[in-house]
Amino acid sequence: MKHKPSTQASYAAILLCISSLAMPAHAQFAKPEDAIKYRKAALTVMGAHFGRVAAMASGRAPYDAKAAAENAALAETMSKLPWAAFPEGSDKGETKAKSEIWTDKARFAEAADKLQVEMSKLTVAARVGTLDALKPAVASVGGTCKNCHDNFRQ
Amino acid sequence: MKHKPSTQASYAAILLCISSLAMPAHAQFAKPEDAIKYRKAALTVMGAHFGRVAAMASGRAPYDAKAAAENAALAETMSKLPWAAFPEGSDKGETKAKSEIWTDKARFAEAADKLQVEMSKLTVAARVGTLDALKPAVASVGGTCKNCHDNFRQ
C-alpha cells in the first residue's frame, strides 16, 4: 500500500515529534565520559526530587501538596533526559551501566519509556492534592526504578 | 506607617511566591554530601544544556532554533535548583565551593539570582528563533557563570 505524499509527511512529522519528546536535549557529547557524567547527574537530580515525593507517600516526610506537585514535575522533566546519554562506547569508565543496555537496546528503551510514562502519571496524581492519589503513583514509579536497576545497573 | 492586615497578608503571600520561585525544590538533604552531590549534578545538567545553546551562538554547532529553545528552557529550569543545596556544613568534602558562599551569603544569593534572571532572558531570546537574538543572551548568561565561578568556586 502506497501512502499519499501528504500522509507520509504527516507520519514523518509525528515520528519527529515522538523522537523529540523522548530526547528533548538533542544530546551531543564530545566524549563517552561526558555522557556518563551527564546521565549520572540527571539521574541524581531525578532521584532527589522523586525521593522527596516518595518520602511524603511513605510518611517519612510531612505531606505538602504544593511541594509534592513541584517535585513530581521536576522528576518528570528529569526522567526525559538520561536516555540520550548512553551512546556506544559509554559502557566503560565511571559507570555502573550493564552491557545489556547496548546488547538489548529495545528492552532498555522500553524500560526508559515506562519510567517516563509513570513519571507523567505521578505529576498528574500529585496535582490532585491528596496523599491517597499520590501513593499508588509513587509505587508505580518506584517499581520502574527498581526494574531498570535490577536489569541494567550493576 | 502601619499597613492594613490585608495588605500585610498580600506582602506575605508575595514573599512566599518569591521564595518559592527561587527554591522550588524545598530541598531537604539528610547529609552535607547529599547536598554536594545534588548541587553538582544540577549544575552539570545545567551546564550541558546551556553549553549546547552556547555552541550554536558561537558557531561551534549548527544553529537549530527548536533545539536552542528546548535546551535554553532546560538550562533555565536547572538554574533554579542548585541554590537550596548549599546548607551550612556543606563546605567540606567533594566540593570546590569557596567559604565565601557562607561568609558572604548576600553576594552569593545575588549571583544566583542574577544567573536565574539571565537564564530566563535566554529562554525568551531562544524562542525568537534567530541567531542574532540568541547571541547577546548567551553572552549575558556566560558572564554570570564566569562571575560566580571567579568569586565562589576554587
* Structural domain count of chain A: 1
* Helix, strand, or coil (residue B97): strand
Residue of A nearest to B53 (CA): A25
Question: What pLDDT does residue A28 have?
Answer: 80
Q: A42 and B45: CB-CB below 8 Å? A: yes
In a domain, A34, yes or no: yes
In a domain, B59, yes or no: yes
In this predicted structure, the answer to whether residue B89 has a pLDDT above a threshold of 90 is yes
Across chain A, mean pLDDT equals 87
**pLDDT tier at A10, thresholds 50, 70, 90:** very low
First-residue to last-residue Cα distance in chain B: 46
DSSP-derived letter for residue A24 is T
In a domain, A18, yes or no: no
In a domain, A19, yes or no: no
In a domain, B142, yes or no: yes
* A24 in contact with chain B, both atoms CB, cutoff 8 A: yes
Q: B81 and A38: CB-CB below 8 Å? A: no
ipTM over 0.90: no
CATH number for A109: 1.20.120.10
Q: A71 and B42: CB-CB below 8 Å? A: no
Q: Model confidence over A115-134: pLDDT tens digits?
A: 999 999 999 999 999 999 99
- Among B20, B26, B77, select the one facing A77 at the smallest CB separation: B77
Q: B38 and A48: CB-CB below 8 Å? A: yes
The alpha-carbon gap from A35 to the nearest alpha carbon of chain B, in Å, equals 10
- Among A25, A45, A71, select the one facing B49 at the smallest CB separation: A25
Separation of alpha carbons B14 and A104, rounded Å? 51
Separation of alpha carbons B25 and B1, rounded Å? 36
Q: Model confidence over B9-44: pLDDT tens digits?
A: 444 444 343 333 434 444 479 999 999 999 999 999
Residue of B nearest to A72 (CA): B25
**What would the mean pLDDT of B62-82 be, rounded to a whole number?**
98
Cβ atoms of residues B51 and B142 within 8 Å = no
In a domain, B137, yes or no: yes
* A42 in contact with chain B, both atoms CB, cutoff 8 A: yes
Q: A81 and B26: CB-CB below 8 Å? A: no
Of B76, B62, B66, give the one whose Cα is nearest residue B138.
Answer: B76
The alpha-carbon gap from B49 to the nearest alpha carbon of chain A, in Å, equals 7
- Among B26, B41, B74, select the one facing A44 at the smallest CB separation: B41
In a domain, A78, yes or no: yes
In a domain, A121, yes or no: yes
Residue A129 has phi, psi (to 5 degrees) of 95, 15
Where in the sequence is the domain holding B102, given as residue range(s)?
Answer: 25-152
Separation of alpha carbons A24 and A2, rounded Å? 31
* B74 in contact with chain A, both atoms CB, cutoff 8 A: yes
A74 alpha-carbon distance from chain centroid? 11
Position B80, amino acid: K
Its pTM surpasses 0.95: no
The alpha-carbon gap from A43 to the nearest alpha carbon of chain B, in Å, equals 9
